[in-house]
Amino acid sequence: MNFDYSEKVKAYQQKLYDFMEEYIYPNEIVYEEQLNAQESRWAGVPPIMEELKTKAKEEGLWNLFLPDDTYGAGLTNSEYAPLCEIMGRSLLAPEVFNCNAPDTGNMEVLTRYGTDEQKDRWLQPLLKGEIRSCFSMTEPDVASSDATNVEARIERDGDEYVINGRKWWSSGAGDPRCEIAIFMGKTDPEAARHEQQSMILVPLDTAGVSIKRMLPVFGYDHAPHGHGEIDFENVRVPASNILLGEGKGFAIAQGRLGPGRIHHCMRLIGAAERALEELCKRVQSRVAFHKPLAEQGVVREWIADSRIELEQARLLTLKAAYMMDTVGNKAAKSEIAMIKVVAPSMALRVIDRAIQAHGAAGVSDDFTLAAQWANSRTLRLADGPDEVHRRQIAKLELSKYKEE
């Protein structure tokens, strides 16, 4: 039992903290201003983004998420966790470090399962931050909490696959730099339950691909990144665009989602930490009923409970990361499910308390609290709703006593 971070990790932490202070926090508002100054919020990516990416690369804070040490930084999940947490403190930060969803998951899929050709064409520009990508799995017409519900089709026709389906919540699809989607659909609806699905690479400029609209999240458009609803109508791509092979879609999704989920959790911990920090500062600066809010017992209870919940969520996330590193994602299945349930709810509670402590300012955009809350709320649904993860945890728990 050892709860300390390594020297390597501590050095990265310090660099990241400094970068956040110097470049990220002051530019959150700049980014928003540049966005609003555009003809439309969807017109382009604010120039500050590329400036910050350049700086991050210079500092060696780039692709830290990727455990592969040829393509990425070669950090373990345990090492990346405390770093990803820091990036999570700002909604602006992950992309600056090329560590934002869904590109991270897509890059990981390509690293693991891509052919050399696929890597050259898509992975390399993604790793360099030159293009963006989206992930087209969720469908509007079925309960996507059950992955086998997917209705989209990927059908072989000669040297091509023909793709049909309506997808939504393809996050990142709004970005003008977004060039490629990883698309999930059924190649064989008659195959065994978990071998019906496949994943395939679909360039967004292919004929038949049309983005119908961008979906808001609690009033936020998340421009220019956005969440697309996309129609795929008789879209034809070369057969070589298939990932890993027909029927491997479910397996890839499982492999993709483990790291994806834990990254979300790490970032949520950072978001909650920042919220708690802002709460503590705010309540020491405001007076009501003759004393600072910080002296109200109820406010102190919020602070204590937030600290308690944060510490526990972080430790469980670190343990899940440690297990992924040591016994593998499959053996860490229960732990990954646990943090996926814990982290969003924890963050929502902590941020909600911070909002309450800020008064009406808390629901506005003068602070990042409301935006972080909305983002955290989606993570009780994205990558599997809480209820599906709880089912999984319970099933594993009950199985320990099955023979009795």
- Burial class (CB within 10 angstroms; exposed 0-12, middle 13-18, buried 19+) of 401: exposed
Does position 300 bind its own copies by CB under 8 A? yes
Q: Residue 193 interacts with its own copies (CB under 8 A)?
A: no
Handedness of CA 278, 10, 92, 229 (dihedral sign): negative
Q: Does 397 bind its own copies (CB under 8 A)?
A: yes
110 close to 37: Cβ distance less than 8 angstroms: no
By CB under 8 A, tell whether 389 contacts its own copies: yes
Q: Which two tokens stand for residue 143?
A: 């309960």
Residue 368 · residue 91 · CB < 8 Å:
yes
236 near its own copies (CB under 8 A) = no
- Residue of 131, 191, 217, 244 interacting with its own copies (CB under 8 A): 217
395/340 Cα distance (integer angstroms): 16
Whole-number Å distance between alpha carbons of 235 and 213? 18
CB 316 within 8 A of CB 339: yes
Per the document, the length of the chain is 404
Residue 33 engages its own copies in binding (rule: CB under 8 A): no
| Cβ within 8 Å of residue 53, ≥6 positions away | 95, 96, 98, 129
Tell me: does residue 192 bind its own copies (CB under 8 A): no
Among 75, 84, 299, 332, binds its own copies (CB under 8 A): 299
Among 280, 332, 336, 347, binds its own copies (CB under 8 A): 280
Instruction: Please identify, among the stretches 11-19, 20-28, 103-111, 282-290, the one whose residues bind its own copies according to the rule CB under 8 A.
Output: 282-290
CA distance 173 to 180: 9
Choose between 228 and 258: whose C-beta lies nearer to its own copies.
228
C-alpha to C-alpha distance for 4 and 75, rounded to whole angstroms: 16
Where do runs of H (alpha helix) occur along 245-385?
A: 249-285, 297-326, 333-358, 369-378
Positions in 320-349 near its own copies (CB under 8 A):
321-323, 334-335, 338, 341-342
Helix H or strand E encompassing 178: strand 178-186
Number of residues engaging its own copies in binding (CB under 8 A): 97
**Candidate ranges 51-59, 127-135, 201-209, 353-361; the one touching its own copies (CB under 8 A):** 353-361
Asked if 207 interacts with its own copies (CB under 8 A), we say no
Closest to its own copies by CB, 53 or 89: 89
Q: Between residue 356 and residue 385, which ones bind its own copies under the rule CB under 8 A?
A: 356, 359-366, 370-371, 373-374, 377-378, 380-382, 385
User: By CB under 8 A, which span of 44-52, 122-130, 157-165, 279-287 interacts with its own copies?
Assistant: 279-287
Candidate residues 305, 328, 330, 331; the one interacting with its own copies per rule CB under 8 A: 305
Asked if 220 interacts with its own copies (CB under 8 A), we say: yes
Q: At what angle do helices 249-285 and 103-113 cross, to 10 degrees?
A: 150
| Contacts to its own copies from residues 83-142, by CB under 8 A | 138, 140, 142
Assess contact for 306 and 355: CB atoms under 8 A.
Answer: no
Q: Which of 29, 281, 328, 331 binds its own copies (CB under 8 A)?
A: 281
